[in-house]
Amino acid sequence: MTHHQYRAQGLAGNERRKLHCSHHRKPDNGGTRVEVWQIKGGVVSSSAASDSHALLSVRDLRTHFDVGGDAVKAVDGVSFDVHEGKALGIVGESGCGKTVLSRSIMGITTASNASTSGSVKYSGTELVGKGKRELRKFWGEEMAMVFQDPMTSLNPVVRIGRQLTEHLRAHKDLSKSEANDLAVQLLTWVRIPEPKERLSNFPHQMSGGMRQRVCIAIALACSPNLLFADEPTTALDVTVQHQILNLLAQQQQERQMGMVLVTHDLGVVATRTDDIAVMYAGKIVEKASTSALFSGMRHPYTQSLFWSIPKTSEPKHTRLSAIVGRPPNLAALPSGCSFADRCPYVQPICREVEPQLQTIDSHSFACHLPVGSSDAEAALSANISAGLPQSEGAATRREAHQGTFT
Amino acid sequence: MAGSGSAHLRNGGDIVIRVENLTVEFPAKGGNVVHAVSGISFDVRRGETLGLVGESGCGKSTTGKALLQLPAPTGGSVQLDGEELTQLSRTEMIARRTDIQMIFQDPISSLNPRRTIGKIVAEPLDVWGPTASDEQWALVASILDAVGIDPESAKYRRPHEYSGGQCQRISIARALVMEPKVIICDEPVSALDVSVQAQILNMLEDLKAKYGLTLVFIAHDLAVVKNISDRVAVMYLGKMCEISDSDDLYATPAHPYTQLLMDSHPEPNPEAVIDEMVVLGGEIPSPIFPPSGCRFRTRCEFADELCAHEEPQMSMISDGHYVACHHPLVEPVS
Ligand SMILES: Nc1ncnc2c1ncn2[C@@H]1O[C@H](COP(=O)(O)OP(=O)(O)OP(=O)(O)O)[C@@H](O)[C@H]1O
Ligand SMILES: Nc1ncnc2c1ncn2[C@@H]1O[C@H](COP(=O)(O)OP(=O)(O)OP(=O)(O)O)[C@@H](O)[C@H]1O
Ligand code: SF4
Ligand code: SF4
Ligand SMILES: [Mg+2]
Ligand SMILES: [Mg+2]
């Protein structure tokens, strides 16, 4: 799996050749590795035509994994746009498809049992259906990715300096010394102290936060127009997380770069993004500008996620409103709404009819009883009086906040 | 002896754990020493939850393990219900292990993959509890039930058949089966989703009430620690910076490091003010060669000569709120 990640980050030269040699390695599922980039006859509905002004326009994207004849619907009809200089946050629980989504967009398919359909337009160019060779032209210079674990994109036995300069020289026509100067400059950008000296470090000689900054330097090296950051700070201390998010935000603004910030933490995206898309079981269930989302969550899942987070503004021992149960099996989704078994508002219609994404004032949500509607209030009250286990958290919350839900 | 003082220690018969001047050192290359924990003191009352926070490498896990004498600390005292644990022989300590249990961050790898859940939870009983299998099972079943795992289906299933959150419930059950006085929770929710994290935190609160537990809760997430703890101790590079009732600590942080942690915490609020200037390194110094005086001085904006030469001692800010800093953000009572 690692070699895809190397290439995605645009690691180059020797690294790349070495990695190609590892192609014969057996993938995890035991089958032979065949890159499949299959296009199904997905229909993009007319109401959801690509936005020609967007830097990235994703329409009805689906990535399904074939597991013993069943389709694991990891990404199932996702659409969104990212504009120049803007940041989109993608939030959701573990396993909801965030990473598969980012990789599908970049075209880094990792598994032989994957098939992807739909449309991904980068500056108007369709990427779905392009071969690896063509896609590679986009990696590094157009789009780059920062992964959760810096060690998946750094080579442990090669000095940081060489990793940087080889990457630079693969993409730019630079002499060795020019590449070296640029590498120092990049490390300075990402605020690594004593950058000249650091070039001779191996990755293990740096702290986790520093390694992640090196990965960001590599990702930014060719000034990509679009950066995917997949949980770039999840493994780091809050202080380092804060620095790295600041750094990404600064670089993004300075370069007018588009950014997709993937995380499970609503706190991370709250102050760092222009828009937020909330994912559940392979689908976007709510999407809005960050301020609109936080001032009025419409989807019960978004609200439940928000409620379950402990907050420093609340007194100690505040009872948390936990979401009951776990996300559904992506290979056997229930009919109707896939959040139904965990939803405090659930009504019979939810299990019969799958809610479609609807948009009101640029705020989209897929729910029969959107939060804030009178139907939703009535449904919740009924569920609480009926003692439905999944409404317990909401009941606690209602009690604590005397009937208000902010 | 570099200690941060013990002015904050409390008296009274309901103290379950009392740690004084705890020091843990590890040998490092070239005859050097890793100063993992350097003279910290704290106490925990019966039924109380003490939170330990601080950045990676500050010595939280080392402190937790030192309570269990794993390994025995280099110096200082650890008392459990008035009994000095550092003086016990190995066999005596093993006998006391039932009183202090520890649960870890990675729930899946801390459970033996080849054994059934029934066996994993009953395991400690083979040595310490009832050995008759029907008696064991009755106890195990009641505890699995208390942590929200269906006993009948768990009896013959193995860890890989459970999610991370469920495995964490199982490791909590395994700790509870010994009826310990104290449970040390080392980042028990750090690897879990916020939704599962909330389930586990609520459950710990319920179990604490049901079994009269005393908890030491280690985490790096400030909001999690505040939610579960009665009192919170902030650690930095093997030292204790500040200790206080948790509501007080968050309302009036007195140590510049506590303030830094709070400013860095990502609140789920788009209106939260973020200090955009913080992009500089601020790397934690090596615990092999910690800075002289105050160990935080290399990152502290208030550091001066005094901080470089003299180690700050714990002093009182208000009732139950103590800080070790020469220039605290809140003036101490003199
Ligand atoms: N090769 C594969 N074959 C079958 N299922 C797969 C494969 N790769 C991923 N999946 C499944 O796709 C789903 C989405 O996974 P993904 O890694 O995108 O989740 P995520 O949202 O990034 O979660 P996390 O927060 O844990 O990183 C998961 O249920 C995962 O098990
Ligand atoms: N067995 C050991 N030998 C040598 N050094 C050790 C040993 N155990 C811990 N250390 C060092 O002691 C210091 C404290 O480590 P500890 O694991 O207690 O930190 P922590 O606060 O739990 O960090 P984290 O949040 O990363 O778990 C670190 O510098 C660590 O490298
Ligand atoms: S459609 Fe029904 S079950 Fe689904 S989120 Fe809305 S109210 Fe809940
Ligand atoms: S003011 Fe001095 S003593 Fe206080 S934290 Fe800063 S460096 Fe340490
Ligand atoms: Mg992921
Ligand atoms: Mg630890």
ipTM: 0.91
Q: What is the DSSP string of B72-131?
A: PPSEEEEEETTEEGGGS-HHHHHHHGGGEEEE-S-TTTTS-TTS-HHHHHHHHHHHHS--
Kindly list the distances between the CA atom of residue A5 and the CA atoms of A102, A109, A267, in Å, as whole numbers in the listed order.
Answer: 12, 10, 27
A238 near B CB under 8 A:
yes
Per-residue pLDDT reduced to its tens digit, B114-154: 999 999 999 888 877 777 888 899 999 999 998 989 999 89
Domain boundary among A228, A252, A280: A280
| Rounded CA separation A27/A301 (Å) | 35
Inter-chain touch A320–B247, beta carbons under 8 Å: no
Q: Is the peptide bond before B71 cis (omega within 30 degrees of 0)?
A: yes
What's the pTM? 0.88
Inter-chain touch B230–A316, beta carbons under 8 Å: yes
pLDDT at residue A45 is higher than 70: no
**Ligand found nearest the CA of A380:** 3
The boundaries of the domain holding residue A339 are 291-400
Residue A56: phi, psi to the nearest 5?
-130, 130
Using CA coordinates, name the residue in chain B closest to A273. Answer: B270
One domain, residues A373 and A229:
no
Contact B47, B213 (CB under 8 A): yes
Domain boundary among A280, A311, A329: A280
Q: Which residues of A touch B250 (CB under 8 A)?
A: 312
Residue A118 lies in a domain: yes
Cα of B4 vs centre of ligand 2, distance in Å, is 20
State the DSSP code for A201. -
One domain, residues A113 and A30:
yes
Q: Which residues of B touch A242 (CB under 8 A)?
A: 263-264, 266, 274-275, 278
Q: Which residues of A touch B278 (CB under 8 A)?
A: 239, 242-243, 246
Cα-to-chain-centroid distance, residue B313:
22
One domain, residues A237 and A355:
no
Residue A236: phi, psi to the nearest 5?
-110, 160
Inter-chain touch A267–B247, beta carbons under 8 Å: no
Cα-to-chain-centroid distance, residue B171:
16
Tell me whether residue A155 is exposed, middle or buried, using C-beta atoms within 10 angstroms of its C-beta: 0 to 12, 13 to 18, 19 or more.
Answer: buried
One domain, residues A101 and A208:
yes
**Ligand found nearest the CA of B235:** 2
B197 near A CB under 8 A:
yes
In the sheet with A143-146, reading across from the earlier edge strand, the strands are A143-146, A226-230, A258-263, A87-91, A275-280, A283-289, A363-365, A358-360
Q: Tell me the fold of B15-81+181-323.
A: Rossmann fold (3.40.50)
Pick B268's closest partner by Cβ from A243, A267, A323.
A267
A136 near B CB under 8 A:
no
| Rounded CA separation B243/B300 (Å) | 19
Kindly report the CATH number assigned to the domain that includes residue A98. 3.40.50.300
pLDDT at residue B303 is higher than 70: yes
Number of domains in chain A: 2
Domain ranges of chain B: 15-81+181-323
pLDDT at residue A4 is higher than 50: no
One domain, residues A307 and A205:
no
Per-residue pLDDT reduced to its tens digit, A111-162: 889 999 999 999 999 999 998 889 888 888 899 999 888 887 899 999 999 9
One domain, residues A274 and A320:
no
Residue A286 lies in a domain: no
Kindly list the distances between the CA atom of residue B205 and the CA atoms of B29, B85, B101, B240, in Å, as whole numbers in the listed order.
Answer: 43, 27, 17, 26
Q: How far is B280 from chain A (nearest CA, A)?
A: 6
Residue A285 lies in a domain: no
Domain boundary among A229, A248, A280: A280
Task: Tell which B residues from 294 to 333 touch A, by Cβ distance under 8 Å.
Answer: none
Q: How far is B242 from chain A (nearest CA, A)?
A: 17
Record the tokens describing residue B274, joined without a space.
């973020």
Per-residue pLDDT reduced to its tens digit, A190-230: 878 788 989 999 998 887 878 888 998 899 888 899 999 99
pLDDT at residue B45 is higher than 90: yes
Residue A148 lies in a domain: yes
| Rounded CA separation A364/A360 (Å) | 6
One domain, residues A310 and A208:
no
Residue A45 lies in a domain: yes
Per-residue pLDDT reduced to its tens digit, B217-256: 999 899 999 999 999 999 999 999 999 999 999 999 999 9
One domain, residues A29 and A133:
yes
Instruction: Look at residues B146, B176, B178, B144 and name the one whose alpha carbon lies nearest to residue B162.
Output: B144
